[in-house]
A and B are shown apart, each in its own frame.
Chain A
Amino acid sequence: MLLAPQTNLMHKTKLQTIYLSLLVAFICLLLPWSGFALKLRPDFVLLVIIFWILRAPNRCNIGTAWFIGLWVDLATGGVFGQHALAYTVTTFVAVIYQRRLVLFSNSQQLVYVLLLLIISQLTLLTVKTFEGNESLGWAYFLPSITGVILWQIAVALGLNTSRPSRSK
């Protein structure tokens, strides 16, 4: 079979890499967070999903996000489907703007990631309000801030989502 010439339009990513990174993010979620650290805890899993959606949209898509969301629901002990819904909505927005996003500069991307994280949190907040939970005030959005900081650290360490240059 003849393969389409894998141009450097996209990063070549192995599926194992994606799943392994998601597993690591999931274990980060499972760490025994408590007290103020719990309030600050960034959404590791969603960050990794966003990263892969920007970098390898053919490998990681809304379905992946939904599936991982179910496991997050299981781990947090909440009603099944709430994180799944939040991740689905967030990744939808990410997928819609993916082609534009990879052309963005770092700072533009950072703002965009912050927006995505807030969308996820707002979806969760809506669901939880329907369930009858009370609001936590503005501190509820702290994980979005820490998430963006974590994203910036990851970018500084050399992970980038921008389209690879053609001159390879």
Chain B
Amino acid sequence: MAGYHQNLDQQQAPAFFARGPSPLARLAFFSALSLALMATDSRLQYLSSLREQLMIVLQPLQLIANAPSMLYESTNEYFSTHHRLLSENQLLRKQALAQAIPLQKMKALELENSNLRQLLDANQSLEEFSQLGEILHVGRDPFTKKIIVNRGSVHHVMDGAAVVDAKGVIGQVTRTYPVSSEVTLITDKSLTIPIQIERNGLRAIAFGHGRDNTLDLPFLPANVDIKPGDKLITSGIDGIYPKGLAVATVTDIQTTQDSPFARIVCVPTGGIENHKQVLLVSISPPRSTTRPSISSKQSTSSQQPVNTGANNAKPKATSSGVMNESNQLKKITNEVPAATVAPSTPNKPHAQD
């Protein structure tokens, strides 16, 4: 008993009170650290490589998290009825047949176009590289409209690649991780996309609206020649999106007395929120690979032919010798020399196709 009293003197405060630095000190320290991190991440580029590396650590956890839904889907697929498969097969056959003729025609037209361009001494139109990606999950931040796709820098996806589904553009790759990449949808508030009105060739820039899955065409005068039902296609002048992909349809135009601008609301044609497979299209060639390896990868990755109309939106040009020699800068700004070389032709060099 006496020993116990001796021990009491040496005894430290119970763990209940021993707390190290005061909470206020901790708050100040960690808040300052967070603020510094936020400033660094949003203004400087130091953390992007760190983020990529940490994503590798996250990958196994992601696989575990995806496992239940994957399992559900695969069992669902396994137990899908014979009848449903048959009817789907028939539908796909019909669609393939219907698309075969335009596709064959397009090959010929492409060849003709490139020959004509060679004759005119204009630059060749851009080659596109595309690969099939599958949507892993929707972005976890309810503030932004993003999706995560299962293709990353390992598969030579690059920042800025356009993301397309069977019906049109759905977004753009904004961040690449090793085996996945983050796609910002065109309806996100921070994404803009250069477009052209299909009917009259008018160029404009569409802004994502953010809240209700629509696009805005701001800063166009109230008397602008746009009608409800007009189709918006990519203009291709940015060097990011291939030319001529469907983007949206104009649904509503409002002009008010007090504003010099029209309020134009468009609805995206692509199924922004209801697809599993998407196509990642980039104009500039992948960084350090030869083309055959890409095309073989593409054929292996398209094992699930659910995305039926995708080929329609993907005019994959055959590689030409001219492209190999011209440097990357030239490729990106190819529209400008084309217009200057042939000034007698109309302002839009692609008018003939």
Contact = CB atoms under 8 A, between A and B. Distances in A.
Interface of A: 2, 4-7, 9-10, 23, 26-35, 38-39, 57-58, 61-63, 66, 69-71, 74-82, 84-85, 88-89, 92, 95-96, 127-128, 131-134, 136, 140
A11 B11 CA distance: 20
A33 B140 contact: yes
Given A6-B14, A77-B182, 9 more contacts: A32-B69, A38-B140, A58-B19, A70-B37, A77-B141, A78-B141, A84-B34, A85-B38, A88-B34
A81 B36 CA distance: 8
Given A62-B23, A80-B51, A140-B142, A9 B14 contact: yes
B15 A4 contact: yes
Contacts of B141: 76-78
Nearest to B138: A34
Given A30-B62, A140-B142, A80 B47 contact: yes
Q: Which of B10, B14, B66 has the most CB of A within 10 A?
A: B14
Contacts of A85: 30-31, 34-35, 38
B212 to A, nearest CB: 11
Contacts of B61: 23, 26-27, 30
B339 interface: no
B142 A81 contact: no
A84 B51 CA distance: 15
B64 interface: yes
Q: Which of A81, A85, A133 has the most CB of B within 10 A?
A: A81
A80 B30 contact: no
A77 B142 contact: no
B201 interface: no
Contacts of A128: 143
B31 A89 contact: yes
A80 B142 contact: no
B146 interface: yes
- Chain B's interface size range is 35 or more
A74 B18 CA distance: 32
Interface string B129-171: 0000000111111111010100000000000000000000000
B55 interface: yes
Contacts of B31: 85, 88-89
Contacts of B42: 79, 131
Interface of B: 7, 10-16, 18-20, 23-24, 26-27, 30-31, 33-38, 40-42, 47, 51, 54-55, 58, 61-62, 64-66, 68-69, 136-144, 146, 148, 175, 182, 189-190, 210-211, 273
Contact of B139 (A2, A77, A80): A77
B23 A82 contact: no
A57 B19 contact: yes
Contacts of B36: 81
Q: Which of B12, B30, B33 has the most CB of A within 10 A?
A: B30
5 contacts: A27-B65, A33-B138, A35-B138, A75-B58, A80-B40
A162 to B, nearest CB: 14
Contacts of A7: 14
Contact of B144 (A31, A69, A71, A133): A133
Given A32-B138, A79-B41, A81-B34, A92 B23 contact: yes
A32 B30 contact: no
Contacts of A133: 143-144, 189
B37 A84 contact: yes
Contacts of B210: 134
A39 to B, nearest CB: 6
A39 B145 CA distance: 13
B51 A10 contact: no
A81 B137 contact: no
Given A58-B18, A80-B38, A63 B137 contact: no
B42 to A, nearest CB: 5
B62 A92 contact: no
A69 B148 CA distance: 20
A38 B16 CA distance: 38
Contacts of B24: 92
